[in-house]
Amino acid sequence: MKGYLILEDGTKFEGNIFGKKRNSVGEVVFNTGMTGYQETLTDPSYYGQIVILTYPLVGNYGITLEDNQSEKPKVRGFIVREASANYSNWRGRESVDEYLYKNDIVGLEGVDTRALTKLIRENGTMTGKIVAYDDGVDVMDEIKSFDNSDAVHQVTPKFNYDLMPITPKVAVVDYGIKRNILSALVNRNVHVRVFSCFDPPEKILDFNPDGIFLSNGPGDPAFLKKEIETVKFLIGKKPIFGICLGHQLLAHALGGNTEKMKYGHRGCNHPVKDLAKDRVFITSQNHGYQVVEESLDRNVLEITHLNMNDKTVEGMKHLSLPIFSVQFHPEASPGPSDSDYLFDEFLNMIKKENKNVNI
């Protein structure tokens, strides 16, 4: 059946509905990865967003639960050029169409995704609505009233939990973490305790962690006043490693600022230069905000990584405290594992601060 994407500037794209027949409003963004659609669908950082995939054929290797990055999809909608009705993969258990239907997510295929992506690249990220039927609601009023500022609070866990109860101990603050980040730590024999973003810093420190990890997550970091205050409290208490949203919250806690990007970085093919290693790595990314370079106090922080496409800040470290962060996803999933070494650098930093830790 026919369906439409209507953007806040009034532009309409026609396609065919698949997955669940429903209407849905969200921030329309694009992802440039050639594979990894299941990881994208289940990445909590996409909460509240309608995701376009620029690669034209999606779904040909099906869905397998082992690749989920959270318990269910977090996107508001899924837009592709062609959704494969059949899949061929020994791990595959169901089609993308079946998976979206089961999880109440609307898909739109047959869309000119190239034209749609170019429009967003030129005009910036926009809110939009996938329309599967006339619900009697004024589309533009609904689009203009869309608010995703509470995204982190919707994806943070409702209770704390532990993985691998051995040493060293790492407290993970979950703003919308992907499962493969936890796997990257557990596979290094780390005792992980996952905390909600609602947990006070005193509760995190009562765990007596050897290090603190600040996770990825959705939305605008500037709205997260309480979370920024928590990070401020933790600074200087334990070694800290932040990625994506965690990187941005650290910047705010250390006196910096962030700003919304025109269309963000989303995909698994973004080149980033590690300035210390003088080497470019291909990274997986998913964010719509960036740390403002000019806002960082260079007497306190050193920039460690730069994006090779637009020269935005991709990493920083504290000059006197055991703190560092990156904007990209070193665990990938999907994407290359080029920057997986950052988890080892985090553990080495913990070992340097606490010689009694067995790593």
Do 238 and 302 form a contact (C-beta atoms < 8 A)? no
Model pTM score? 0.90
Question: Which residue bears the tokens 């964010």?
Answer: 287
Distance CA 159, CA 317 (A): 30
Q: Which of 108, 124, 146 is the last residue of a domain?
A: 146
Distance CA 116, CA 173 (A): 35
Rounded average pLDDT over 134-162: 94
Are 180 and 278 contained in the same domain? yes
pLDDT band at 356 (very low <50, low <70, confident <90, very high): confident
Are 124 and 161 contained in the same domain? no
Question: Which residue bears the tokens 């830790």?
Answer: 357
Domain count, the chain: 2
H helix runs in 214-340, sequence order? 225-234, 245-253
**Does residue 358 form part of some domain?**
no
- For residue 335, the model assigns a pLDDT of 85
Is the pLDDT at 355 greater than 80, yes or no?
Answer: no
Buried b (16+ CB within 10 A) or exposed e, 323-346: bbbbbbbbbbbbbeebbeebbeeb
φ, ψ of residue 31 in degrees (nearest 5):
-125, 130
- The residue type of 77 is G
- For the annotated catalytic residues, the residue numbers are 244, 329, 331
**Does residue 241 form part of some domain?**
yes
Are 296 and 315 contained in the same domain? yes
Distance CA 127, CA 26 (A): 6
Are 156 and 141 contained in the same domain? no
Are 88 and 156 contained in the same domain? no
pLDDT band at 357 (very low <50, low <70, confident <90, very high): confident
Contacts 24+ apart (CB under 8 A), 88-94: 88/60, 88/61, 88/62, 89/61, 89/62, 89/64, 91/61, 91/62, 91/64, 91/66, 92/61, 92/62, 92/63, 92/64, 93/62, 93/63, 93/64, 93/65, 94/62, 94/63
What are the tens digits of pLDDT across the range 214-234?
999 999 999 999 999 999 999
CATH number assigned to the domain comprising residue 140: 3.50.30.20
CA-closest candidate to residue 264, choices 46, 109, 82: 46
Q: Which of 146, 172, 188 is the last residue of a domain?
A: 146
Are 316 and 255 contained in the same domain? yes
**Does residue 348 form part of some domain?**
yes
Distance CA 256, CA 90 (A): 48
Query: In Å, how far are 39, 179, 187 from 43, measured between CA atoms?
Result: 6, 9, 20
The count of other CB atoms within 10 Å of the CB of residue 147 is 8
Are 219 and 241 contained in the same domain? yes
Domain range for residue 281?
152-353
Are 14 and 137 contained in the same domain? yes
**Does residue 359 form part of some domain?**
no
φ, ψ of residue 241 in degrees (nearest 5):
-125, 125
Q: What angle do CA 154, 188, 319 make, to 5 degrees?
A: 75
Distance CA 134, CA 279 (A): 53
Rounded average pLDDT over 343-350: 96
pLDDT band at 331 (very low <50, low <70, confident <90, very high): very high
The average confidence (pLDDT) of the chain is 95
Is the pLDDT at 165 greater than 80, yes or no?
Answer: no
Q: Which of 106, 126, 146 is the last residue of a domain?
A: 146
283 exposure class (CB count in 10 Å sphere: 0-12, 13-18, 19+): buried
The count of other CB atoms within 10 Å of the CB of residue 215 is 26
Whole-number percent of the chain with pLDDT over 70: 100
Is the pLDDT at 311 greater than 80, yes or no?
Answer: yes
339: left (phi over 0), alpha (psi -120 to 50) or beta: alpha
Q: Which residues contact 206 (CB under 8 A, 6 or more apart)?
A: none
Are 188 and 99 contained in the same domain? no
What are the structure tokens assigned to 249, written together? 């919250």
What are the tens digits of pLDDT across the range 229-261?
999 999 999 999 999 999 999 999 999 999 999
What are the structure tokens assigned to 266, written together? 């989303």
